[in-house]
Amino acid sequence: MKNIPDVKLGIIAVSRDCFPIDLSIKRREAIVKACGGDVYECPITVENELDMLEAVTDVVLEECNALVVFLGNFGPETPETLIAEKFDGPVMFVAAAEGDGDLINGRGDAYCGMLNCSYNLAMRHLKGYIPSYPVGTADDIAKMIADFVPVARAVIGLKGLKIITFGPRPQDFFACNAPIKGLYELGVEVEENSELDLLVAYKEHENDERIPAVCDDMANELGVMGNNYPALLPRMAQFELTLLDWAEEHKGARSYVAFADKCWPAFPQQFGFEPCYVNSRLASRGIPVSCEVDIYGCLSEYIGACVSGDAVTLLDINNSVPASLYEKEIKGKSDYALTDTFMAFHCGNTPSCKMCADRAIKYQLIQHRLLEPAGSEPDFTRGTLEGDIAAGEITFYRLQCDSEGNLRSYIAQGEVLDVPTGSFGGIGVFAIPEMGRFYRHVLIEKHFPHHGAVAFGHWGKALYEVFRYLGVKDIAYNQPKGLPYKTENPFD
């Protein structure tokens, strides 16, 4: 996971000059201890603007890239908020609860100070991450800091991200077309290239001396049962090296890279294979490669990789679960209704580590029908990684720029069920509570495309906070049955 940032947190305590400064210092020390020493403790307690400048300089010299501003007492409103202006990174604001001293000389009033802190942040149009209940003991705040780390990692990652595309986007796949204006608003850079550029670079990697080692790594990953086309590995290894070299040579001033590539119909014919398995391998290393030049799908995947610190994937919200399969495998074994379930699919881009043990390199059935002679053995349509996605918790989500240039998003937590799909591609039976209503009143009503990013585990809380920090106004989710959507007919 070298393609996502490491978060180095610093904590700066602030103190209003009419309150005991020792109260902030003592409480700051208790937080650092509760964090197990994983947070850099700035020795300067901020009471005024000069203290603020000195403290920010100190944490920058210590190479901190995220900050906790701690109100150990009421706090100085101007200096504490200016920290967020002067520090180039995500900043969390938290406040001390009372209870570690008497309520005369040991009362800090940080509960009150947090109100003015948030007011001043808004007055100055400054961003700050404030937890759902930002007042607590040292142990409470240590937990808040742990929740802040994945949020900070995503914010830092986006600031250093370049999305590299190889297009153009497929005809009639409007799902993959969206204004790139939203990327620039987020601070994300984009480099758009043609498939011809990629083909030229691929040919230049022919006979690359690194290819045998990559082939060996692929063979080890796939195992005997999964390596259906050993002779295909050198081509795929050549492509993997092409992408990795392109990332290194083209990231420029950026630190992190993700790809959005066109994968059909010309790609397999010209390169001699499908790119899906290679895409899955890069995704397992924190370098998402989205299908069909889906730039915002790629962006969403990268956010999920930063938040979870794990591999992610991009899937079609693809087909309904047959009633016969539901009756046989799901009904009575869980509380899900048929409309809570669906199948999520893509050709073969999901990382091997997130699939069942019988996954294997196969061929793209749809492309074979379309591009190769009827009844022929698959040739250039080989290269997908197919099998059922392993059962477990997931978060389905997406950040999208709509046709008006506005960023909007959705998040829904659920699971992949331990149910054989009996189908092809990288696919799984997914279940999300109230999916039927979510499908109609969020996905359809708000015009989201069919691609959704998948993070493995329940990461809704962190994703929600990331989107809020980024300024996304519309964050939809799968609302429970007792909470109707604005567009839901009350008489239905």
pLDDT of residue 46: 98
pLDDT of 214 above 80: yes
Among 78, 68, 23, smallest CA distance to 47 is for 78
Strands 161-167 and 189-194: what pairing?
parallel
pLDDT tens for residues 236-253? Answer: 999 999 999 999 999 999
Residues 415-462: pLDDT tens digits? 999 999 999 999 999 999 999 999 999 999 999 999 999 999 999 999
pLDDT at position 175 is: 62
**How far, in Å, CA of 343 to CA of 426, rounded?**
10
**Is the pLDDT assigned to residue 171 strictly greater than 80?**
no
Q: Please answer whether residues 284 and 309 qualify as being in contact, where contact means their C-beta atoms are separated by less than 8 angstroms.
A: no
Quick one: which of 1, 9, 6 has its CA closest to 87?
9
Look at residue 404 in the predicted model and tell me its pLDDT: 86
At 225 the pLDDT is 94
Alpha-carbon torsion (56, 467, 450, 423), positive or negative: positive
pLDDT digits (tens, 9 = 90+) for 94-103: 999 999 989 9
Q: Please check the confidence at residue 483 and state whether its pLDDT lies above 90.
A: yes
The DSSP H or E segment spanning 123 is: helix 110-123
Residue 194 has which token pair? 């043609």
Query: Where is average pLDDT lowest: 105-109, 238-242, 401-405?
Result: 401-405
Q: What share of the chain is helix, strand, coil (3-state, %, to 5)?
A: 40, 20, 35
Domains of the chain by range and CATH? 9-158 (3.40.50.10940), 160-477 (3.40.275.10)
| DSSP state for residue 261 in the 8-state scheme | E
Question: Over 60: is that where the pLDDT of 1 sits?
Answer: no
Q: Which residues, including other chains, have CB under 8 Å from residue 444's CB and lie 6 or more apart?
A: none
| For range 69-78, the mean pLDDT | 97
Of the two residues 167 and 119, the one the predictor is more confident about is 119
Q: Is the pLDDT of residue 85 over 90?
A: yes
Selection from 252, 228, 188, 196 nearest residue 470 by Cα: 188
Tell me the per-residue pLDDT of 353-401, one tens digit each, with 9 for 90 and over: 999 999 999 999 999 998 999 999 999 999 999 999 999 999 999 999 9
Judged against a pLDDT cut of 60, whether residue 209 lies above it is answered with: yes
**3-class state of residue 182 by DSSP:** helix
Helix axis angle, 276-283 to 233-250, nearest 10°: 50
Amino acid at 456: F
Residue with tokens 């100055």: 124
How would residue 264 be classed by pLDDT, with cut points 50, 70 and 90?
confident
Q: In this model, does residue 37 exceed pLDDT 90? A: no
DSSP 73: S
Span 176-201, pLDDT tens digits = 778 888 999 999 999 999 999 999 99
> What is the β-pairing status of strands 189-194 and 426-431?
unpaired
Mean pLDDT of 7-17: 97
Identify the band that residue 174 occupies on the pLDDT scale cut at 50, 70 and 90: low
pLDDT average, residue stretch 140-162? 98
Per-residue pLDDT, 168: 79
